[in-house]
Each structure stands twice: as structure tokens, then as C-alpha cells.
Amino acid sequence: MEIGLREWLIVIGIIVIAGILFDGWRRMRGGKGKLKFRLDRNLSNLPDDDGSAELLGPPRVLDTHKEPQLDEHDLPSMSAPLREAREPSSKRGKSGNTGAAEPHQGDLNLDVDEGPSFSSRDDDFPDENTGKTSSAPRQSVNDQPAAEEVLVISVICRDAAGFKGPALLQNILESGLRFGEMDIFHRHESMAGNGEVLFSMANAVKPGTFDLDDIDLFSTPAVSFFLGLPGPRHPKQAFDVMVAAARKLSQELNGELKDDQRSVLTAQTIEHYRQRIVEFERRALTQKR
């Protein structure tokens, strides 16, 4: 009887050990199956290999926003011949009416952290001989000598829609610019548009002109202010007026100031422009001697 019980215990032990081993083997097989299944699920989410080159190489960033580019050679020449006068239209007659149709021409009074801060009035450039405010008639662009050097400040609109014609016109008229020869805007000594030309403003999109007949529907991504040397009698003061007009436009119409290299205009760049004016005047005096 004792021998039979021992044999049963041995058999039961063998069965238990076999069950443990089978359970471990089943778990191992089950874990492998899950791992393989997860890998297959991940691989199934990949796109089909159709041989496209886009699947190879590092990711690329597409530049969808391109700034308008206007070289100095694209700017209208300060000594260019006059364009033939266009026939007046009914719309031109409405926009050219002096009175309520023209925006109020206020003085510039820019409170900025850096750069020039001054007021541009009609007596900013007094007559050197009489000491009185200059009342000379408007100077023609043709009267200026050919520019040997051009200082350019561009204003790039941050809005994708660009500068809208009515708002742009309102802003630059307040800065004293007037539409004139070559179908661009000019800033004269006087806010009323009299006296010598200090600087001009062109459209940054070729051919660089503006059409007042369609100003209500007009828009442009950028404009460029430019001052030619030789040019105004007081180039440094004229340059400060140009900087103020460009800064006013950028601040009020959400623009960004750029220099002639299309880099962000900084205080150092403005000072560099002033040094270029000083150097040009020094060379001019040397040549006269």
C-alpha cells in the first residue's frame, strides 16, 4: 500500500512539473505572437513605396513668402525725361479736387525710441540767403543732376494683402509727399509741394509707378524711398525726413523697414547712411578744389 502511494505522488509531481513547463512555454509563445503582431501593425501604417524621391533625404522647408525685390537700377532716374501727361479722367477729377477729398497734411511728429525724432514743417529748409521760409516754385525732377549714389529705404508690408492704395496715399500725403513726374511721389522742401526735391518714393513692383486713377483698387507688397546724391542742398536733413516718412509708414500700416541690401534697417544702418552722405560731400568739396 505504501509503494502504491509513493508512485501516485511521483506521478502527480511529474504532472505538476509538466504543467508548469507547458504553461511557461505557452506564455513564451504567446508573447512572441503579440510582439510580431505589434510590429506588423506598425509596418502596415507606412506609405506604399512608389519610388517617389520625396521619401528620401532630409525634410525640406518650402519658402512660400517671397519679398518683392527692387534693385537700385529699377528705380526711376532722378534725371529721367518727363512722361507724357495722361488725359484726365472723371475719376482723376474727383481724386484731384483740392479740398475735402485730399487728406489733411499734418506735421510729422514721431516719438520713437531710436532714429530721428523731429517735426517736418514748411520751414524745415529755410532759404540761406534771406533767412526766410523758402517760397520757391516746385522743382522739376529734370532740374536735378544725374545721381551718382542712391540711398534706398524699402518698407515691406507684413500683411499678405500688401499696402492698400487709399491707406498708403493717406499716409504719404501726411508726410508731405506729392504725386508728380514719372508717376511716382516726391517730397519737396515745402509740405505744400514747393521747392527742391528732397527724395522720392516708388512702387517696389515693376515698373515702379502708381496709378491714381485706380488707387482705390491698388495694392502693393512694398514701396521704396530713395534719395539721390548729388541732390538736395541739405542732404543729411533731407535724409532724416526720408527716414521719418518711411518709419511713419511702417508703424501705421504694419510694415518692416529694409535697407538697400534687403536687410532689416537698424540704427547702425541709418548711421552708416549718414556717413555715406558725409563722405560724398567731402569728395565733392575735394573735387571743387
pLDDT tens for 70-119 read 555 555 554 443 344 344 444 444 444 433 333 333 333 333 334 433 33
pLDDT classification of 29: cutoffs 50, 70, 90: low
Model pLDDT, residue 53: 45
With 0-12 CB in 10 A as exposed, 13-18 as middle and 19+ as buried, what is 190? buried
Q: What distance in Å separates the CA atoms of residue 115 and residue 174, rounded to the nearest whole number?
A: 19
Which letter, b or e, does each residue of 25-36 get, where b requires 16 or more Cβ atoms within 10 Å of its Cβ? eeeeeeeeeeee
Beta bridge partner(s), residue 157:
255
What does the pLDDT read at residue 13? Answer: 84
pTM as predicted: 0.58
Least confident of 50-54, 79-83, 121-125, 234-238: 79-83
Q: What is the SS3 assignment for 45? A: coil
- Find the DSSP H helices in the chain: 2-44, 90-95, 165-174, 235-252, 267-288
For the cut 70, the answer to whether the pLDDT of residue 121 exceeds it is: no
pLDDT mean across residues, the chain: 74
Q: Give residue-wise pLDDT tens across range 225-253.
A: 999 999 999 999 999 999 999 999 999 99
User: Which of 138, 151, 137 minimizes the C-alpha distance to 259?
Assistant: 151
The DSSP code sequence of 180-203 is -GGGSEEEESSTTS-SSEEEEEEE
In this structure, is the dihedral angle defined by the CA atoms of residues 26, 29, 32 and 34, taken in order, positive or negative? negative
**With contact defined as beta carbons under 8 Å apart, do 180 and 165 qualify?**
no
